[in-house]
Amino acid sequence: MTLDRRELLRRAAALAAGPLAAGPLGAVLAGCAGDRRPATAGGLEPSLNVYNWSDYIAPDTVRDFERETGVRVTYDTYESNEELLAKLAAGASGYDVIVPTGYGIQALLAQGLLQPLDRTQLPNWGNVAPLFRDAPYDPGRRYSVPYQWGVTGIAWRRDKVSPPPTSWSVFLDPRHAGRMTMLDDGREVLGAMLRLRGHSYNTTDAAELAVARRDAVAAKANLKAYISAPVKGQLIVGDVWIAQLWSGDAEQARTEQPELGFAVPVEGSLIFGDAMAVPRGAPHPRAAHAFMNYVLRPDVGAAISLATGYGTPNQAAAARLPVPRPYPDAAELARLEYQRDLGAATAQWDRAWTEVKAA
């Protein structure tokens, strides 16, 4: 069949251009693991491999997609961009749809690991709000489709903490020592401390980093632990009272624990957007596009936004939300920053973070 041959050629080409000469071995193994079932009625490949953040989709999305298209979806999850990048760095990962954060897409593009998207297979693209149709890390959105956006902030138990924390400095205050957590993410922790001093989340200035590091070590004494999204469970049961957390996860926790508040500190914090992308050499690109197009439907987008607690870049979906989740206005945007991939400066940040963790 022409489809299979094109697929095979594309796969072979991708592998040949890939890291090392022993590509054929990978091709053989990939072929062995490949599908022997026929394509679906819509001309899509019979299966799809999606790799997304954990707790980052509505419970029915995948199942409904499978039912509508006949494509069988394998859905795996990761907990951090770094985990995703590490798995992709290991060559042909076999995933068709991945959902990195903006700076992750930057890194992947720099390594040439993403394939350009085919807009003709994304008729629902028109639903994307104009604000999200372009991105600094992916000019023209040639490689990505916006998925969700969110901000980092502070989540706290209203019944245990008063007055509400409004500044990153709360982590330097020993009053609630042992009841606070920050994210297990060097960019977020050091970034917060940088922001506290009026610096940028994307700085490469050694002096600024050094001060942030010192502050982070001071804060560490008051922290219970560094925990990322999993801190939700502890906020709900009350082991943790104050947590640096992402807006969507805070919202998810709030549905189980109404006594939860969330706010962006006065000094400002991070705003981030995650987007769907297709790795180069993905075995099922047509199904990948079909999935991304499915997610861009207003009802599907709204369901995802409701389930994850994050904001949706899909204006048609946003209109369907019972409680609006408006994108930050100009005033708020002024104190929010997008994270950029730091390239060579990553080593500097890593060392600072290791120092904090080893302290």
Rule CB under 8 A: choose which of 4, 6, 68, 74 binds another protein.
Answer: 74
How would you classify the pairing of strands 47-53 and 97-98?
Answer: parallel
At closest approach, how far in Å is the CB of 247 from another protein? 18
Q: In whole angstroms, how far apart are CA 201 and each of 104, 195, 196, 338, 339?
A: 15, 7, 10, 8, 7
Rule CB under 8 A: choose which of 3, 13, 25, 319 binds another protein.
Answer: 25
Interface with another protein in residues 315-344 (CB under 8 A): 343-344
Q: Which amino acid is at 97?
A: V
- CB-wise, 287 or 317, nearer to another protein? 287
- CB-wise, 8 or 89, nearer to another protein? 89
Q: Binding of another protein at residue 192 (CB under 8 A)?
A: no
Residue 244 · residue 227 · CB < 8 Å: no
Residue 37 · residue 13 · CB < 8 Å: no
Interface with another protein in residues 123-182 (CB under 8 A): 178, 181
At closest approach, how far in Å is the CB of 21 from another protein? 9
Residue 151 · residue 247 · CB < 8 Å: yes
Q: Contacts with another protein: how many residues (CB under 8 A)?
A: 66
How would you classify the pairing of strands 144-157 and 242-246?
Answer: antiparallel
Q: Binding of another protein at residue 346 (CB under 8 A)?
A: yes
Q: Binding of another protein at residue 239 (CB under 8 A)?
A: yes
| Close Cβ partners of 348 (under 8 Å, ≥ 6 residues apart) | 204, 206, 209, 342
Rule CB under 8 A: choose which of 82, 134, 159, 299 binds another protein.
Answer: 82
Q: Binding of another protein at residue 232 (CB under 8 A)?
A: yes
At closest approach, how far in Å is the CB of 79 from another protein? 7
Q: Binding of another protein at residue 17 (CB under 8 A)?
A: no
Rule CB under 8 A: choose which of 223, 245, 264, 287 binds another protein.
Answer: 223
Q: Per-residue b/e over 177-199, b at no fewer than 16 CB within 10 Å?
A: eebbbbbbbbbbbbbbbbbbeeb
At closest approach, how far in Å is the CB of 221 from another protein? 10
At closest approach, how far in Å is the CB of 335 from another protein? 26
- Strand-pairing partners, residue 338, are 271
- Strand-pairing partners, residue 1, are none
**Phi/psi of residue 11, each to 5°?**
-65, -45
Rule CB under 8 A: choose which of 7, 23, 117, 244 binds another protein.
Answer: 23
Q: Binding of another protein at residue 186 (CB under 8 A)?
A: yes
DSSP E strands: which ranges in the chain?
47-53, 72-78, 97-98, 144-157, 180-182, 223-226, 242-246, 260-263, 269-277, 336-338
**Phi/psi of residue 314, each to 5°?**
-95, 110
| Close Cβ partners of 230 (under 8 Å, ≥ 6 residues apart) | 79
Residue 221 · residue 278 · CB < 8 Å: no
Rule CB under 8 A: choose which of 4, 6, 9, 19 binds another protein.
Answer: 19
Interface with another protein in residues 83-122 (CB under 8 A): 83, 85-87, 89-95, 107, 110-111
For another protein, the binding residues (CB under 8 A) are 15, 18-20, 22-23, 25-26, 29-30, 32-33, 49, 51, 54-55, 74, 76-77, 79-80, 82-83, 85-87, 89-95, 107, 110-111, 178, 181, 184, 186, 220, 223-227, 229-230, 232-234, 236-239, 343-344, 346-347, 350-351, 353-355, 357-358
